[in-house]
Amino acid sequence: MEKKDIDLFFKKDERAVKKVYEEYYHLLKSLSFSILNDEASAQDCVQDTFLAALTSSNYVEKGYFKAYLCQICRHISLKRLEETSRNIPLDQDIATQEINDNSLISFVRSKLDKDEYEIFVLKVVEKMKFKEIAKIYQVKASSIKGKYYRALKKLQAELSFEEEAK
């Protein structure tokens, strides 16, 4: 994304807003979905992300616009998860878990903690670099690498354990 497009985005230029939206929508939706595991809520969080970015004055020009948007999206998604987890009845939780048990995503999610899972999705699905992910989490890239490789080892151990059990 070019600097002029980002500048125009913050000036609420319609074409620039549309360009930024089209460029980052899929990434942000994937990030939000990895946290919420709900399509509609993920879409809502992406909309809220763009609205928050447009109305915020916190962006500092350092060339990390994508990380800036991801950070907003992650924060909004985690807040939504916290709010909804207080209101979900146990039966719905169990039904949702049964539906998702058959998918690879559910397997990965069940074997990794929240941060490992998010990092795994950003690295594998979204093909982000460790440095970009580190900006989102506001930590060093080496910390993200460590969590990513620990997550891979966990998954590898689980897969080999299940293979031995057969």
pLDDT tens across 135-155, in order?
888 999 999 999 999 999 988
| For range 120-130, the mean pLDDT | 86
- pLDDT value, residue 131: 92
Q: Looking at the predicted structure, is the pLDDT value of residue 29 above 70? A: yes
- pLDDT value, residue 27: 92
DSSP for 34-101 reads HHH--HHHHHHHHHHHHHHHHH------SS-HHHHHHHHHHHHHHHHHHHHHTT--HHHHHHHHHHHT
b/e per residue 71-107 (b: at least 16 CB within 10 A): bbbbebbbebbeeeeeeeeeeeeeeeeeeeeeeeebb
Task: Kindly report the length of the chain.
Answer: 166
Q: How confident is the model at residue 41 (pLDDT cuts 50, 70, 90)?
A: very high
CATH topology of domain 102-166: Arc Repressor Mutant, subunit A (1.10.10)
Higher per-residue pLDDT: 22 or 91: 22
Domain ranges of the chain: 1-87, 102-166
Q: Which residues fall within 8 angstroms of residue 61, CB to CB, at 6 or more apart?
A: 3, 6
pLDDT tens across 96-117, in order?
544 444 466 777 888 889 889 8
CATH topology of domain 1-87: Rna Polymerase Sigma Factor; Chain: A (1.10.1740)
